[in-house]
Amino acid sequence: MKIAIMGAMPEEIAPILEQLGEYTTTQYAGNNYYEASYKGVELVIAYSKIGKVFSTLTSATMIEHFGAQKLLFSGVAGAISPTLKVGDLLVATKLSQHDLDITAFGHPFGYVPEGAVYVEADRELITLSQKVALSMNKTLQEGIIATGDQFVANEERKNWIGTTFGADALEMEGASVAVVCDALNVPFFILRAISDAADMDASFSFDAFLETSAKESAAFVMKMVDAIIEQNV
């Protein structure tokens, strides 16, 4: 079994590499891929760089070049739902691209022909994650994540994304990773810890909480790996 663990920024995977201690580094297509064996499974770990294009490249590479059979994403996000506060964990049930727009042709936001507005995440991994949350005594909210190539720091844009997609949080990589994994039939799990509220204070909040929130998410994802190994799913 080979499991991919992916982030967008160095800070999002650093805690995972730290926990592993020993790994090999391979450069491929402009990124570093870190490989390790962990409790009898193979891990491939990488950060993609920010945005949908880089995250598409990295997730596809992890699957097609490195042979990953499951993909877990760990990172931070801006909250839309008022129930999500800095440090809270959210797992995506489904994801959408909020900046995909051919509405001029009568299509809904997030839709292109032969695509879909939402890509659904793997139910089994979400169910497993709720067991992990229980064992860690943590609350794990489930919700919709909207992805786009914008750092949203604007109440109006954030609210539009919330109402248009029913989204609970937003970020810049989840939906593209979801499209790749869905197309290649690889079960995926997108976890985010909140770093900001995508409002006018977002950049300050992001800078202040990136590291601590990224750590929250990474710690949970490593428990997910443990649970996957134990349950043999």
Residue numbers of the site for ligand 4EZ (CB under 6 A)? 8, 50, 75-78, 151-153, 170-173, 195-196, 198, 202, 206
Q: Residue 168 catalytic?
A: no
Q: How far is the CB of 177 from ligand 4EZ (least distance, A)?
A: 10
Closest contact distance (angstroms) between CB of 149 and ligand 4EZ is: 9
Q: Which residues, 6 or more positions from 8, have their beta carbon under 8 angstroms from its beta carbon?
A: 47, 48, 49, 50, 51, 54, 55, 75, 171, 172, 173
C-beta closer to ligand 4EZ: residue 75 or 228? 75
Question: In the chain, which ranges are continuous DSSP H helix?
Answer: 10-20, 52-64, 123-136, 155-165, 174-183, 202-231
Residue whose entry in the numeric block shows the structure tokens 């202040």: 208
Choice among 11, 12, 122, 173 that is catalytic:
12
Q: CB–CB of 199/155 below 8 Å?
A: yes
Which residue, 15 or 75, is less far from ligand 4EZ as judged by CB?
A: 75
Residue number, nearest CB to ligand 4EZ: 78
Indicate if 12 belongs to the active site: yes
**The token pair that represents 5 in the structure block:** 């663990």
Q: Can you give the C-alpha Rg of the chain in angstroms?
A: 17
Closest separation in Å from C-beta 158 to ligand 4EZ: 8
Which residues, listed in sequence order, are joined to residue 36 by a DSSP beta bridge?
43
Of 88, 168, 173, 196, which residue is the catalytic one? 196
Catalytic residues: 12, 196
